[in-house]
Amino acid sequence: MSLYYPHLRTLQQSLAFHAAQRPNQPAVLCEDRCVTYAELHRRSNRTARGLLACAPHAGARVAYLGKESEHYYDVLFGAAKAGAVLVPINWRLAPAEIRHILADSQTAVLFVEEEFRVAAERVVAELAQAPRVVLLDGPDGPGSGLRAWQDRYADSAVDEGGGWDDPVAQLYTSGTTGLPKGVVLAQRSFFVVRDAMESQGLEWIDLRPGDVSLIGIPGFHVGGIWWATQGFNAGVTIVSMRMFVSSAAIEVIRRHGVTIACVVPAMLHMMLSEPRVTGAHFASLRKVVYGGSPISETLLKQCIDEIGCEFAQIYGLTETGNTAVCLPPAEHVSGSPRLRAAGRPYPGIDVKIIGPGGTLLPAGETGEICLRTAAAMREYWGLPEATAATLVDGWIHTGDAGYLDDEGFVFVCDRIKDTVIVAGENVYPAEVEGALAKHPAVAEAAVVGIPHEQWGEAVHAFVVLRPGHRATPRELMLFLQGELAGFKVPGSYEVIDALPRNPSGKILRRSLRDRFWSGRVRQVN
């Protein structure tokens, strides 16, 4: 029976409730460290007190720059209790990208791990409004700097936390303009799907007494923070890995008896590709939830056959508050045509397919997928025009192309927008193209996604060189490493004489990518 506490409506309520009900139960396991629910509650009270002292105004932005650990959740709950908004930053981003996020969000307090301290200090020094920096690590090891900072403040309860519709997280996702946009999510984004499933007695994604939940997706992704909050709302134990390494993940599943996990397809592929791995390594698992990018039918069949537990696929966007559509375990049957589907919407969540001009399309016809969910974002931070373009009359326009079958299952076929998804990480061509254009030998460039068996897609760049200039792929790759996060740097390059364009000058990106995808059923991998 799934754990469900309908009276819990905010993250701070969930933690306070479970700290009282199960104080000695592990809340977070990370490496060899264990934090109980009571400890997490006390620590995050101190964090909240500190945040209120440093940034007393409601909605203050609090950034976290570090790998996964129990400290991330300390800051998450501390921010929720203080009525602040957590801004988790992808630690793989380049300094310029981190600087944009800090400046755009007007971050008041930045929590940073020692590994990223030098880069953070350099970035902060360049900001007109520098945030207060709290170093998480210290002389006594991981987290000792945070504990020293917390010790200045009382661990008494804090009452200033936000309510159901108040913002609690701001996650940055890039757009076709190349600049990351801050997606503002309210507390409700982390409770709506839970309520929707319970309303119909569905156990598509269920958390049960005694569950141990592995988070494979980083907390700076909506999938990572959403999955963690589902575990905390249910009062189960969370297992946090500093970063995903397939061999280590297999060992963590065995050692902690992980029963339920949330991962992206590339992680499943990597674990099953480990030498001598067998189904016995996954014996404790009863369910795997996967999403973030489409999964190949070959990999999914391998997972069903070799791991042998239940599977549930989730589909959504940061803008929809994560999942809005689910392919439940009952549909994961080898050979079923529905294995190509993203799933069906949860109760109370609507989906429609529209054509040019917003016309509603019937079942079987491909158009843009639009989703209406109470978990949807409040806004793109400081970007009213972009918000209005994506959130139209309550509908999120996903930019994904797909269709509905006669029974309401959603099939994703392609992307209307040009996003490339590398192992669940969004890469936006305009951002990479802009960085390439800074190279003195590059006149212009176009970036597309091409199939990759392990990562789903890889980034491929078409480059037009300036007359009289030369640049090797290695030179371009090394140049970009100082401009972009590693996963955004193209792994392959192709020099061409000119980019194909339509009469209005728009790059015909489809004509560039078609030869890589020819003969495939779906134009995403």
CA–CA dist 52, 363 (Å, integer): 52
Tell me if 134 is assigned to some domain.
yes
- Domain final residue pick, 281, 315, 349: 315
Tell me: do 435 and 309 sit in the same domain: no
CA–CA dist 284, 198 (Å, integer): 25
Please name every residue paired with 444 in a beta bridge, in sequence order, or none if there are none. Answer: 464
Tell me if 195 is assigned to some domain.
yes
Instruction: Write the DSSP symbol of residue 116.
Output: G
**Strands (E) located in 355-415:** 367-372, 379-380, 391-392, 395-404, 410-415
Q: Domain with 452 in it: what CATH number? A: 3.30.300.30
Whether the CB-CB separation of 198 and 6 falls below 8 Å is answered with yes
Q: Assign 398 to helix, strand or coil.
A: strand
Tell me if 150 is assigned to some domain.
yes
In the predicted model, residues of the chain with pLDDT beneath 50 are 176, 504
Query: Which residues, including other chains, have CB under 8 Å from residue 239's CB and lie 6 or more apart?
Result: 28, 29, 30, 212, 213, 214, 215, 252, 256, 258
Tell me: do 305 and 433 sit in the same domain: no
Distances (CA, A) of 457 to 58, 153, 217, 275, 448: 41, 47, 18, 23, 9
Tell me if 355 is assigned to some domain.
no
Tell me if 102 is assigned to some domain.
yes
Tell me if 336 is assigned to some domain.
no
Instruction: Write the DSSP symbol of residue 501.
Output: B
CA–CA dist 30, 50 (Å, integer): 24
Tell me: do 161 and 25 sit in the same domain: yes
Secondary structure of 163-219 in HEC code, one letter for each residue: CCCCEEEEEEECCCCCCCEEEEEEHHHHCHHHHHHHHCCCCCCCCCCCCEEEECCCC
Instruction: Classify strands 310-317 and 287-290 as parallel, antiparallel or unpaired.
Output: parallel
Whether the CB-CB separation of 183 and 171 falls below 8 Å is answered with yes
Tokens of 40: 């997490």
Q: What is the DSSP string of 252-293?
A: HHHHHT--EEEE-HHHHHHHHTSTT--GGGGTT-SEEEE-SS
Tokens of 396: 């999120």
Whether the CB-CB separation of 185 and 167 falls below 8 Å is answered with yes
Distances (CA, A) of 52 to 62, 79, 155, 169, 502: 11, 9, 13, 17, 54
Instruction: Write the DSSP symbol of residue 104.
Output: H
Q: Domain with 229 in it: what CATH number? A: 3.40.50.12780
Which among 368, 367, 387, 362 is positioned nearest to 376, based on CA atoms?
387
In single-letter form, the type of residue at position 91 comes to W
CA–CA dist 432, 219 (Å, integer): 24
Confidence at residue 174, expressed as pLDDT on a 0 to 100 scale? 64
Whether the CB-CB separation of 502 and 508 falls below 8 Å is answered with yes
- Domain final residue pick, 298, 315, 332: 315
Whether the CB-CB separation of 465 and 443 falls below 8 Å is answered with yes
Tell me: do 436 and 303 sit in the same domain: no
Range of the domain at 262: 11-315
Which among 140, 123, 49 is positioned nearest to 89, based on CA atoms?
123
Secondary structure of 408-457 in HEC code, one letter for each residue: CCEEEEEECCCCEEECCEEECHHHHHHHHCCCCCEEEEEEEEEEECCCEE
Whether the CB-CB separation of 163 and 140 falls below 8 Å is answered with no
Tell me if 379 is assigned to some domain.
no
Confidence at residue 108, expressed as pLDDT on a 0 to 100 scale? 97
Tell me if 283 is assigned to some domain.
yes
Which among 266, 172, 242, 185 is positioned nearest to 28, based on CA atoms?
242
Total domains present in the chain: 2
Tell me: do 131 and 256 sit in the same domain: yes
* H or E stretch at 28: strand 26-30
- Domain final residue pick, 300, 315, 330: 315
Please name every residue paired with 450 in a beta bridge, in sequence order, or none if there are none. Answer: 458
Whether the CB-CB separation of 150 and 345 falls below 8 Å is answered with no
CA–CA dist 204, 153 (Å, integer): 42
Tokens of 313: 């696929």
Tell me: do 443 and 294 sit in the same domain: no
* H or E stretch at 299: helix 297-306
Confidence at residue 176, expressed as pLDDT on a 0 to 100 scale? 46
Confidence at residue 502, expressed as pLDDT on a 0 to 100 scale? 62
305-344: b (≥16 Cβ within 10 Å) or e: eebebbbbbbbbbbbbbbbbbbbbbebbeeeeebbbbbbb
Instruction: Write the DSSP symbol of residue 319.
Output: G
